[in-house]
Every structure is written in structure tokens, then in C-alpha cells.
Amino acid sequence: MKHTRLAITLLASLLLMLTVGLLQAQDMSEFRVGLPAVVDLNPATGSNDPETVFNRLIYDYLMDAAPNGALVPQLATSYEVSEDGLTYTFALVEGVTFHDGSAFTADDVVHSFNYLKMAGSPALNLLGEFEVAANGDNSVVFTLTAPNADFLYGIAARWSFILSSDIATPNVLAEGDAPYANFIGTGAFKLSDYRPGESATFIKNDAYWLEGQPASDSVTLIFIDDQQAQIDALRTGAVDFIFKIAFDRVDELESVGLNISIKATNQHPVIRIRSDAGALGEDVRVRQAFKYATDREILNLDLFNGLAAIGNNDPIGPLYGQFYDDTVATQEFDPARACELLAEAGFPNGLGADEPIQFYIDDSFNYVQMAEFLKEQWAEGCINVEILPRNPGDYYAGDADTAEWLNVDLGVTGWGSRPIPQQYLVEAYVTGASYNEAHWSDPELDALVAQAATTVDTKARAEIYSQIAAIFADRGPIIVPFFAPIIGVTSAGVIGLDMHPFPGSTDLRNVTVSR
């Protein structure tokens, strides 16, 4: 009996050890990201970091834009461009399957890019006008109506996922026992659980076409809108990676053994003054007054200890090298001049003298803190505002007619880094652009942006961008106070993570974590 009990005890101990080992192994294979909640699940239109992370796990691209801006192949093995620049032929990886076991072919590529057209995707701003057709099962041909210097970046745009032609409604939750039947891609992970506003879990695709990937068995996105709550979750081990952390938290987080990644980017807050029929009117002097009332150098010192980059009050920052012109004259801080301009524009007592101008803020990163500094600076320039922080999920929710960020008179929006400057211009500043939050229409700017789109010569394109920067400085409806470095934080056991300048585009296929 004693030997039997001893055997049972040893067996129980062994089972316990095996169970603990299995749990530890499971912990090592799960990578968890803390980030704001997904707002728009549609892969063709979901624009922000959470949507991009979500969809990159499920889907692949033909080509991808690496963290350094280089284009790298994914489902396309190679491409050829005709001498006239109007035809692009892509050879496709063979033997790839979707999560449901169906074969990936050229028909899926055709379907995916036609779906972008049907959905009115922002990717079309880079892709331009095109037709796409299969050339057998393993080749696809795009035919353009005019040369397009940025077409390949449209192919690699964050919305240009390759979808299954069998799925008519991608990323729409289904009724019944298979709620994720419309979330079918060729990607490294499969969606296994989605709880809106709470979390999304993705499990390893054992049939993934790239050998050795993914490195983790699962990825879980834990939706946490508040930055302090994200930091708390990382410190307690509930998540492994967070990003877009305020600079003033770096020393604190390093002191508790967390790893900090600081990456120079073209990320920037856009302070925009509605330029059409809004309360601030169409007078250029009002826009100039805001610029004279803004001390961008002090904002950089106060918020980033001088580590951010100051630009020309347009979206083209120093990160773009020769496409950035550091000779463009911009408004220096001169609050007295701001007051004079407002008086000339019909506001002798300044803006908001009787009732403060409502100033809407994307409550992420350190934008509310920036707004508090701006309020003090603008008061010297005869501008009185009331700060209205907005939860990002609410701020960006809705369509072009209902989303707050696209319709308020004065606000701040965070713009993530893009691989090329043209992307900002076509997305937000030409007449009728999808994200033209300032409601700006300038025929000269439109013509220059269109010219840049077909200009392949780098020097000639740089000259066009210099003219565009001068227009923004003179009459543009935005202030770009700085181009901020992105700060990401990971737990000590994370290996293989190379944070993208647009953090939602970070490739998680090679990431592992040990606890």
C-alpha cells in the first residue's frame, strides 16, 4: 500500500510538473499587444494602427513596405514594368493556400484590388486608375491609364491586403457556429476569438507558406484605450508590447526593466483650421494668425526634450531627405503679429473673446498635454480655446459626414508615418481627398500633387515638393508643430520585434516572448 501511495504521489508530482511545463510553453508562445480598440474592421478602409495590426495577422500583401521604407515581396515573387510605365506584371508565389484550404491564385489578386475600388479604399489615392487581370493562375497584370511614380507603394499600401475571392463580405461576423468564416486570408495567423472592445486572439497558421513562420503560437490583441492603463498592463505582465508612449514616461519604464524602442518617424500631429464655411471662415489671415501664435520650438523642448524634428507646417518632414526643403520660410513665434492679423480679418478682440473656440483633441500620445501648452501660447496671440479631449475610438468613428475629426472647426489629429510623402498629400490635402479634415481646396496645390504623381526623376520631384511646402506655409490650413519619434515598449523577454514607423504595420511573424 505504501509503495502504491508513493507511486501515486510521484505520478501526481510528475503530472503537476508536466502541466506547469505545458503552461509555461504556452505562455512562451503567446504574444500580447496592448492597443486601442479596433474601429473599422473592413480591410479596405480600416486606417489606424489597431485595424492594421488586426488585418496584417490574417492577410498578406503582394508587396510590403519595410520599416526603412523599402518595398519587399510577399505573395509576389517578382514584377516587371513596361517601358511606357503603364503595365505592371507580377509573378505570384505558388502553392499558397487560404486558411480554409482553398488555393491562392491570380483570381484572388484581381478580386482584392477590384474590392478596393468597390469599397472606395484610400489605397486608390496611390494606385490611381488601373485595370487588373489574371494571366494564368500565377501571374497578374495591372494596366494603368497614366504613369504613376507611386503605384508600387499603392500595391504595398496598408489596405492592399490579398483577400479570398470566395468571400464576398470580408471581416463581417457571421451567424451560427462559424462566426469568423469571413476572416479568411493567407496570413500567418487565423482569427480564433474576437470580442469587440475587449480583445482578439489569433492562432498560428500551421499551413503558412513561409517556412519557420510564424514564431509564436498565438497573438492576442488586448484593447486598452487609456495609455496609463496600457503601461500598467505591461508592468504587471498582462501584455508584452505597447506603442506611441509619451516621451516623459521613458525613464520610468526603463527603470523597471522594460525595453524601450525609439524610432525617428514622420509621425506628426496635425492642428487644422477648417478652411471652408466653418466658424473660422476662409480668410487666410486667420490661418496665419494661428501659425504666428504657435511656438513649435518650445513645444519640442517641453514635450520631447528637443528630440523631435521641426518642419515647415506641412506633412513632408526631414525624414524624407531631399524631398524636405529646409529653406522654406515659415512663421516664427510672434503673438503680437497674430493679434494684428486677426484684427485685420474682422476679429478686433481676437478669436473666442466672447465664447471660447472648441478645440477637439485626439486623446492619445501626448496630444492633450500639447493642447494645454498651445492654449497658453494662443492666448498671447488673441486666440481663446476650450480643450475637448476625445477618445480615439469615438473621435474617428463614423463616415465622412458624421466623424468628428472630419467636421470640427479646430482640432488635432495624429497622423502616423508613411513610406512616401505623396501619400499624405493625396489622402488629406487635395480637393475631395478621403481625409481632407481641413476641407481645403487649392487648385495650384492639386495641380502640383498631380504633377508629382507622374514625376519619376527624384530631383524634379523634390522641386515640386518644395513648391508645395511654400503653399502650405503661405496659405495652408494646418500647423505641424513637430515630427515625433515613436516610442514602443516591450517586456524583457520579447525577441525579434522591429517596430515599424507606423506601429500598426509592425511585422509580428518573427516575434517570440519568454516569461
pLDDT on residue 9: 33
Q: How many CA atoms lie within 13 A of 495 on its CB side?
A: 10
State the pLDDT at residue 215. 96
Q: Which one-letter DSSP state was computed for residue 247?
A: G
pLDDT at 290: 98
Q: What is the 8-class DSSP label of residue 383?
A: B
Is 421 within 8 Å of 323 (Cβ atoms)? yes
Q: Where are the beta strands (DSSP E) in 299-430?
A: 357-362, 385-390, 410-415
What are the average pLDDT values for consecutive 10-residue runs of the chain, which has 515 residues? 35 35 52 96 95 98 93 96 96 98 98 97 94 97 95 96 97 95 98 97 97 96 94 96 91 93 93 90 95 97 91 95 95 98 96 96 91 98 97 86 93 93 96 95 97 93 98 97 94 94 95 90
pTM for the model? 0.80
Q: How far is CA 60 from CA 276, 328, 509, in A?
A: 40, 40, 11
Backbone angles phi, psi at 10, to 5 degrees: -65, -40
How much is the pLDDT for 270? 97
For the segment 323-364, what is each residue's pLDDT rounded down to a tens digit? Answer: 999 999 999 999 999 999 999 999 999 999 999 999 999 988
Distance in angstroms (rounded) separating the CA atoms of residues 499 and 49 = 12
Q: In the structure grid, which three cell numbers stand for residue 66, read together?
A: 519595410
At 1 the pLDDT is: 39
pLDDT of residue 397: 85
Q: What is the DSSP letter of 333?
A: P
Which residue type occupies 167?
I
Q: Are 236 and 401 in contact (CB under 8 A)?
A: no
Q: Which domains does the chain have, with CATH numbers?
A: 49-155 (3.90.76.10), 263-485 (3.10.105.10)
pLDDT digits (tens, 9 = 90+) for 103-138: 999 999 999 999 999 999 999 999 999 999 999 999
- Pairing relationship of beta strands 71-73 and 494-495 according to DSSP bridges: unpaired
Provide the grid cell at 303: 514635450
pLDDT for 76: 98
CB contact burial 326-338 (16+ within 10 A = b; e otherwise): eebebbebbbebb
Would you say how long the chain is, in residues? Answer: 515
Torsion of CA 181, 182, 183, 187, to 10 degrees: 90
Alpha carbon separation from 335 to 238, 269, 295, 300 (Å, rounded): 47, 21, 9, 18
Please give the pLDDT value at position 247: 86
Element (DSSP H or E) covering residue 455: none
What are the C-alpha distances in Å from 449 to residues 263, 355, 461, 464?
A: 28, 38, 10, 8
Strands (E), 306-441: 357-362, 385-390, 410-415
Euclidean distance between CA atoms 384 and 377, whole angstroms: 10
Name the strand (E) or helix (H) holding 126: helix 124-127
The SS3 call for residue 429 is coil
Question: According to the model, what pLDDT value does residue 377 have?
Answer: 98
- C-alpha 227: how far from its chain's center? 17
The residues, ordered by sequence, that sit 6+ positions from 175 with a Cβ below 8 Å of its Cβ are none
Burial letters for 22-44: b for 16+ Cβ neighbours within 10 Å, e otherwise? Answer: eeeeeeebbbbbbbbbbbbbbbb
